[in-house]
Amino acid sequence: MAVGIDISMDDFHACIKIKNELGKVIIKGTKTFKNTGAGFKEFYQWVLDRKKGDYTLSFVMEATGVYYEDLAYFLHTKKESVSVVLANKMKGYAKSLNIKTKTDKIDSKIIADFGIERHVDEWKPMSPVYKELRDFCRELLSIKKEMNRARNQLHAMVRSHDKSKGIIRIKKQQIAFYEKAIETIKKKLIKIVDKDPALKKKLAKLQSIPGLAFETSVILASETNGFELFTSIRQLVSYAGLDIEFKESGRFKGKTRITKKGNSRIRQALFMPAMSASRCNESIKKLHERVCERNPDIKRKGIVAGMRKLLIYAFVIWKKDTAYDREFVWS
């Protein structure tokens, strides 16, 4: 018995479907609820009232921004099976059904079908420590992006003709605010990590990788919930959007590139460390040189290869709970 949930900021549409003994899928009900605490309670009672027999109950929802989180946590406290599916995966499933009409009601039915037909991993809430770190890290990355934009704007203002000094002063104040906010967040990250000796020890081992510093190590750990979600390197690389996409058909030969269908914050955090590692980390330096030799016109590919390698090193070191070994040879 699957409950498909299409959720938005203000409300969510639910559809209950079951597959009977003959393999036929039957709709047991559809209804819209408010995306509030009272709406969650009404929704949960509505589902229980329609649960018949020994059917196993599972709730499946689409990862729509942050709007699904409150409902997911609510259902988890009720000890229910909750699954959160990425939007691009659900979009691909809908295309396979050749469904062209898109409404909240239809989307909830598609999600319920997906929950019945496919094996969906169960969602687990983040550890409170990692969630707090993730929130601060995401704000840090966001502020850094805004500060770089403001610096570029200031650079153009200073060199433009007869620019108002008042505007330049305001832009400098904006940059100073960003710099102060970044320092405040960094101090807060250190404070949170210092409270957890086991986490601090793990992060220190990640920092033993040449190219990875404290900030990037914390981002990787928090964005992956301590790498808890992954059992293989392939899963992690795909989650970060660093997996390779290649298109080929007949005589057509497409370009090889990364999919970028994954966690953009991990890619953002790894870019500068990969540039540093291409100079100070011997194995990544050799990898960078090989890739650039094959692609002399697209040297950025060498940096992307370094990002992927750094992520793999971090995953292996975290799982094995050991420091980086420069002499290690991959089997």
Q: Which two tokens stand for residue 168?
A: 């330049």
- Read off the pTM: 0.83
What is residue 331's predicted lDDT score, i.e. its pLDDT? 57
HSE-up of residue 180 (Cα within 13 Å, Cβ side): 6
| Cβ contacts of 63-69, under 8 Å, gap ≥ 24 | 63/87, 64/7, 64/8, 67/7, 67/8, 67/9, 67/35, 68/5, 68/7
Does position 36 have pLDDT exceeding 90, yes or no?
A: yes
Give residue 65's pLDDT.
77
Question: Considering only 12-16, 60-64, 88-92, 251-255, which range has the smallest mean pLDDT?
Answer: 251-255
Please tell me the distance from the alpha carbon of residue 323 to that of residue 27, in angstroms, as a whole number: 54
Q: pLDDT value at position 56? A: 85
Contact, 323 vs 317, CB < 8 A?
Answer: yes
**Which residue did the predictor score with more confidence, 246 or 41?**
41
pLDDT at 261 over 70: yes
Contact 52, 29 (CB under 8 A): no
Write the pLDDT tens digit of every residue in 293-330: 988 888 888 999 999 999 999 999 999 999 998 877 66
Amino acid present at 184: T
Residue with tokens 């899928």: 25
Average pLDDT over residues 7-27: 89
